[in-house]
Every structure is written in structure tokens, then in C-alpha cells.
């Protein structure tokens, strides 16, 4: 079966760095995505990786290793507004998105 | 304002009733999707449409139907609601079925009692 694993919840301090991991087992691979979802709101797109390596976008970076079925989202200089759930999703061979359950990130002052 | 709009925002529905959730986008996206999101689970695809006039079944299609008469609208119908369909429903769209960035509506919180 297809499976996306990510931690349920993480806590970090304002101004610090946090890394949210995601491992996956899917039927084929056409890219890995990270979305941010604030409580009660819609998911919004953060990043897309299809090749191995690190993609940097401001305070957020996303890493992919296809051979290990592994990705992480790195958030630097954490701000209170970064408190949200972070969703990892993989596009399988049928171009369907398979979603993880999300990691709830709590930022403390 | 360009984007994707869902209606209603929330609804309490008696079991056995029929309900249509509406979804409209004005970005001229070809692909549209309906997901449900339940606590502790990832988003699960109910139905999708890669282009107007075509639809497909996702992971959890039972009890739901969709239509795609035109590019902009993608309604989701629950023919006879059951309590297990209590969930938050998100409509989304993307340029094509194989493009990576999906845009989501604000969600419909449905409670079936």
C-alpha cells in the first residue's frame, strides 16, 4: 500500500530552527509537496521537489532523497505565525496526491 | 478576487438527506478535486476531474457523486448522507492533472446527525 509518515506534533521556540521529516512509500513518484495549513483554514502550497537535493525559498527549505523515500521541511527564524500544520504529499505514478496526516507545529515564545 | 470558492461554509444535515456542496473557480484550471479531511488522517481524494466533461474516482468515492459540466464548477453530491460523512470537505484546482500546485477552497464543515 501507499504510505506517508510524518510526526504528529512538534514544538519549537520562536527564532529557532525546526526540521519536519516525511518518509514515503508510494506506487511511483512524480514529486513531493509541502503544504501549510493554519487551523480552520485551507492548505496553501509551500514547496515542490522532484529531484534530489535542497530547494530554498526564503526562511523555508525542502530536501528530497528519492533513494531513501525521505524529505524534510526546514523552517528557520521561526515566527509565531508559523504555528500551523505542515502536510507532506507525494504525487504517485497516476498523478494522484497521497497525503500524510500532517505535523502540527507549535511555536512557543 | 481570483480563486476557488466553496459553499456552504458549514452545514448540519440530517442523515438520509441529499446535499450538494458547491465549488467554483475562476482561474480557468483544467483539473479539480474534492477531498475530505478527518482528524488524524491525511486529505483523502473523493473524486477528481482532469478536464470539463470528465470525472474519476479517488480513494473514497462511495456515497458521493460529482459532475463537471463546465470548467468553472465542480459540485459534490451526497445522495443520502450518513454520519460517517461528517468531515471537512475541501475543493481544489490545478492547472492540469499533472501539475504540482493545487489551490484550495476554504472548506465546508459538514456534520451529519
**Residue B66 pLDDT:** 98
* Cβ contacts of A100 on chain B, cutoff 8 Å: 42
Whether A101 sits inside 8 A of B40 (CB atoms) is yes
pLDDT at B100: 66
- What is the per-residue pLDDT across A40-95, written as a single tens digit (0 to 9) for each? 999 999 999 999 999 999 999 999 999 999 999 999 999 999 999 999 999 999 88
Q: What confidence score (pLDDT) does residue B42 get?
A: 87
pLDDT at A108: 96
Give φ, ψ of A20 to 5 degrees. Answer: -105, 120
Q: How big is chain A by its Cα radius of gyration, in Å?
A: 13
pLDDT of res. A50: 94
All residue ranges of chain B with pLDDT < 50 are none
Q: Residues of B with CB below 8 A from A48's CB?
A: 100-101
| CB-based contact B98 A101, cutoff 8 Å | no
Cβ within 8 Å, pair B102-A45: yes
User: What integer pLDDT is reported at residue A1 of this predicted model?
Assistant: 75
Per the listing, cell 492540469 goes with B96
φ, ψ at B84 (rounded to 5°):
-70, -10
Specify the 3-state DSSP secondary structure of A53: strand
B88 contact A CB<8A: no
CA–CA dist B77, A89 (Å, integer): 26
C-alpha distances in angstroms, B30 versus A15, A39, A47, A106? Answer: 41, 28, 21, 36
Averaged over A8-30, what is the pLDDT? Answer: 96
pLDDT computed for residue A94 by the predictor: 85
Amino acid at each position: 500500500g501507499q504510505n506517508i509518515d510524518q510526526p504528529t506534533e512538534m514544538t519549537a521556540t520562536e527564532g529557532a530552527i525546526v526540521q519536519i521529516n516525511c518518509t514515503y512509500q508510494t506506487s511511483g513518484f512524480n514529486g513531493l509537496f509541502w503544504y501549510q495549513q493554519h487551523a480552520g483554514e485551507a492548505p496553501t502550497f509551500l514547496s515542490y521537489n522532484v529531484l534530489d537535493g535542497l530547494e530554498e525559498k526564503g526562511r523555508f527549505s525542502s530536501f528530497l532523497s528519492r533513494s531513501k523515500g525521505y524529505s524534510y521541511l526546514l523552517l528557520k527564524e521561526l515566527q509565531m505565525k508559523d504555528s500551523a500544520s505542515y502536510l507532506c504529499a507525494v504525487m504517485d505514478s497516476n498523478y494522484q496526491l497521497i497525503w500524510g496526516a500532517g505535523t502540527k507545529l507549535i511555536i512557543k515564545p | 478576487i481570483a480563486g476557488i470558492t466553496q459553499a456552504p461554509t458549514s452545514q448540519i444535515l440530517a442523515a438520509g438527506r441529499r446535499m450538494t456542496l458547491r465549488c467554483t473557480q475562476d482561474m480557468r484550471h483544467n483539473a479539480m478535486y474534492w477531498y475530505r479531511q478527518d482528524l488524524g488522517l491525511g486529505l483523502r481524494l473523493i473524486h477528481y476531474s482532469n478536464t470539463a466533461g470528465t470525472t474519476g474516482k479517488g480513494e473514497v468515492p462511495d456515497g458521493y457523486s460529482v459532475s463537471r459540466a463546465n470548467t468553472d464548477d465542480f459540485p459534490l453530491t451526497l445522495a443520502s448522507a450518513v454520519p460517517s460523512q461528517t468531515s471537512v470537505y475541501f475543493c481544489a484546482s490545478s492547472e492540469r492533472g499533472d501539475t504540482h500546485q493545487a489551490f484550495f477552497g476554504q472548506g465546508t464543515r459538514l456534520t451529519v446527525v
